[in-house]
C-alpha cells in the first residue's frame, strides 16, 4: 500500500470532498465488478467466451463462494484458528455464480496468470479438491486486494477420461501418452511434458502467463506473478544441483565452461511461471530433453527420481530461457524441512508442498524410522482412501509450524467441501444431504 494520501493532514472542506470522490470510485468499481461477474455468468461476450467456445462440451460451470466460507467456518470452529491470517473475512455473505472461470478471468490485469495443475490417478483426485479449495479461497482474498495477479484455473487431467470432478473443478482432459510411446510404461516421466504439449496445442487462455502446479501445492496466501518481466519465475529446489554433475550436464548442453554449467537453474517444472509464448518454444525441447536423459544411462542413474526436474532445468538452458529467469527460495515451502511461514530471510512462502513425510519421534526430532515415529503426517497414507475430516493436530512436541499448517489446511478444506464423509467412504463425489455441521446449506448448493 502506498502511504501517500493518508499520511498528510488534509484541510477540512477539501478532505470532505476527497472522501466523496473516493467513495464514488469505490462504488463505481463495485458496480463494475458486479456487472462483469454478471456478464461472465450470462456468458457470450468477450475473449473468454471465444476461448471457451473452442472447447464445446468440456466447458464447465463453477460456484464461487465469494464470501461464503466466512460465516460457516468462523462460527463453527473458533478453536481451529484460520491457518492463513492473510485471508480476510468479509461478513456480508453472497454467492455469485461465475461460469467459465477456466478460460475467463475477471482480473483486468495484464500481469494476471492462469494456474494449470496436472492431475491423474487417485491421490491426485482428493489432493486436487483440497488444492482447488485453497486456490479459490486465496483468489477470493486476492480479488479484494488493490492488485491481484491470480487469474483462472485449469486442472489438466491427463488420463484421457473425464471424471466426477468436472463440475467441481475447471478441467481440461487430454490424452495420456500414446501406447506407441509408453510401450512398457517406462516413459512415465514423459507424462507431464506430453500433457502440457497437448494442452498448449488445443487451448487458449486469456492470460499471457501461467504457473505450472501440482495438486500437492497448497496456496497459503494470494500469490503475485513471480516472473522477471516476461522471463520465467520458478521455485528453488536446493537438491537440484547441476554443477555437481558437470560431465553429465555437458552431454546435454555441450562442452561449455564451468561458469555456464553454474547457470543451469536449480528448478523443476513446477511450480514455475512461464509465458504462453516462451512455453510454446520450450515444450518440445522439454519433451525431447526428457527422452534424451531417460535414454542416457549415466544421466538416468545419476538423476533417477528427479530426472524429470533435471530435464526441465536443462531444457530451459537449451532454449536459452534460463538467462533472465528468476529463481525464488520463498515460492514453495518444504515442510518438515521448512518450519515457518516465512523463509530464512523473512519473506513469505506462497505455496505449501505436501510431499515429504512429516515424521517425528517422541523428542520431537524428525526421523525416517517409522518404528520410532510418535507422530506422522504422510500423504502416502491416503493413497487408497482420502484423509478423513478432523485429522488430529500434531502434539506439542512437534515444534514445526508448517506441519501444523498442513493439518489445519487439510482439515479446513475437508470441513468445507460438501459430503466429505461420503467421499471418504466411497472415494466417489456424490451429491448428498449431509453437510458440514452447523452449516445451513451454503455449501450444499453445488
Ligand X SMILES: *[C@@H]1O[C@H](CO)[C@@H](O)[C@H](O)[C@H]1NC(C)=O
**Interface with ligand X by CB under 6 A: which residues?**
183-184, 186, 255, 284-285, 288, 363, 365, 369, 371-372
Output 110 or 183, the one with its CB closest to ligand X: 183
- Cα gap 192→223, rounded to integer Å: 23
Output 79 or 185, the one with its CB closest to ligand X: 185
Residue 353: phi, psi to the nearest 5?
A: -95, 120
Output 84 or 285, the one with its CB closest to ligand X: 285
Cell, residue 420: 466429505
CB of 213 to ligand X, least distance (A): 24
Neighbours of 29 (CB within 10 A): 10
Q: How far is CA 193 from CA 156, 176, 203, 230, 358, in A?
A: 12, 11, 15, 21, 29
Contacts of 392 (CB under 8 A, 6+ apart): 407
What's the farthest any 2 CA atoms get from each other in the chain?
78
CB of 320 to ligand X, least distance (A): 14
Q: Which 3 state secondary structure label does DSSP give 154?
A: strand
CB of 364 to ligand X, least distance (A): 6
CB of 256 to ligand X, least distance (A): 8
Output 304 or 369, the one with its CB closest to ligand X: 369
Contacts of 129 (CB under 8 A, 6+ apart): 165, 168, 169, 413, 417
Output 352 or 403, the one with its CB closest to ligand X: 403
Q: Which 3 state secondary structure label does DSSP give 427?
A: coil
CB of 18 to ligand X, least distance (A): 57
Cell, residue 288: 525431447
Output 37 or 366, the one with its CB closest to ligand X: 366
Output 215 or 289, the one with its CB closest to ligand X: 289
Burial state string for 191-213 with b = 16 or more CB within 10 A and e = fewer than 16 = bbbbbbbbbbeebebbbbbbbbb
Amino acid at each position: 500500500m502506498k502511504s501517500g494520501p493518508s499520511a498528510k493532514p488534509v484541510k477540512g472542506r477539501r478532505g470532505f470532498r476527497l472522501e466523496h470522490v473516493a467513495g464514488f470510485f469505490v462504488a463505481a468499481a463495485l458496480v463494475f465488478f458486479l456487472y462483469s461477474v454478471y456478464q461472465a455468468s450470462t456468458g457470450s461476450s468477450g475473449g473468454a467466451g471465444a476461448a471457451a467456445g473452442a472447447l464445446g462440451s468440456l466447458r464447465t460451470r463453477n460456484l464461487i463462494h465469494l464470501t461464503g466460507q466466512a460465516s460457516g467456518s468462523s462460527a463453527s470452529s473458533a478453536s481451529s484458528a484460520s491457518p492463513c491470517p492473510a485471508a480476510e473475512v468479509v461478513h456480508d455473505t453472497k454467492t455469485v455464480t461465475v461460469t467459465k472461470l477456466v478460460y475467463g478471468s475477471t482480473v483486468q490485469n495484464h500481469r494476471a496468470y492462469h494456474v494449470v495443475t496436472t492431475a491423474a490417478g487417485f491421490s491426485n483426485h482428493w489432493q486436487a479438491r483440497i488444492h482447488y479449495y485453497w486456490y479459490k479461497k486465496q483468489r477470493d482474498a486476492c480479488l479484494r486486494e488493490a492488485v491481484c495477479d491470480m487469474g483462472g484455473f485449469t486442472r489438466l487431467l491427463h488420463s484421457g477420461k473425464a471424471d466426477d470432478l468436472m463440475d467441481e473443478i475447471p478441467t481440461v482432459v487430454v490424452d495420456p501418452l500414446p501406447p506407441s510411446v509408453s510401450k512398457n510404461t517406462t516413459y512415465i516421466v514423459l507424462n507431464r511434458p506430453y500433457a502440457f504439449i497437448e494442452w498448449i496445442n488445443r487451448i487458449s487462455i486469456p492470460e499471457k502467463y501461467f504457473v505450472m502446479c501440482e495438486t500437492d501445492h497448497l496456496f497459503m496466501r494470494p500469490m503475485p506473478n513471480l516472473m522477471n518481466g516476461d522471463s520465467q519465475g520458478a521455485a528453488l529446489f536446493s537438491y537440484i544441483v547441476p554443477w555437481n554433475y558437470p560431465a553429465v550436464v555437458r552431454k546435454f548442453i555441450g562442452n561449455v565452461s564451468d561458469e555456464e554449467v553454474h547457470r543451469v537453474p536449480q528448478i523443476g517444472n513446477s511450480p514455475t511461471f512461464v509465458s504462453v509464448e516462451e512455453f510454446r518454444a520450450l515444450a518440445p525441447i522439454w519433451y525431447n530433453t526428457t527422452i534424451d536423459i531417460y535414454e542416457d544411462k549415466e544421466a538416468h542413474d545419476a538423476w533417477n527420481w528427479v530426472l524429470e526436474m533435471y530435464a526441465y532445468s536443462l531444457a530451459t538452458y537449451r532454449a536459452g530461457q534460463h538467462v533472465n529467469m528468476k529463481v525464488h527460495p520463498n515460492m514453495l515451502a518444504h515442510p518438515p524441512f521448512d518450519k515457518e511461514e516465512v523463509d530464512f530471510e523473512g519473506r513469505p512462502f506462497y505455496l505449501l508442498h505436501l510431499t515429504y513425510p512429516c515424521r517425528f519421534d517422541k523428542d520431537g526430532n524428525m526421523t525416517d524410522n517409522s518404528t520410532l515415529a510418535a507422530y506422522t503426517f504422510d500423504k502416502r497414507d491416503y493413497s487408497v482412501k482420502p484423509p478423513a475430516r478432523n485429522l488430529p493436530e500434531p502434539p506439542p512436541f512437534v515444534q514445526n509450524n508448517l506441519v501444523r499448517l498442513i493439518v489445519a489446511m487439510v482439515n479446513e478444506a475437508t470441513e468445507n467441501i460438501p459430503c466429505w464423509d461420503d467421499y471418504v467412504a466411497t472415494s466417489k463425489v456424490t451429491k448428498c444431504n449431509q453437510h458440514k455441521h452447523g452449516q445451513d446449506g451454503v455449501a450444499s448448493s453445488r
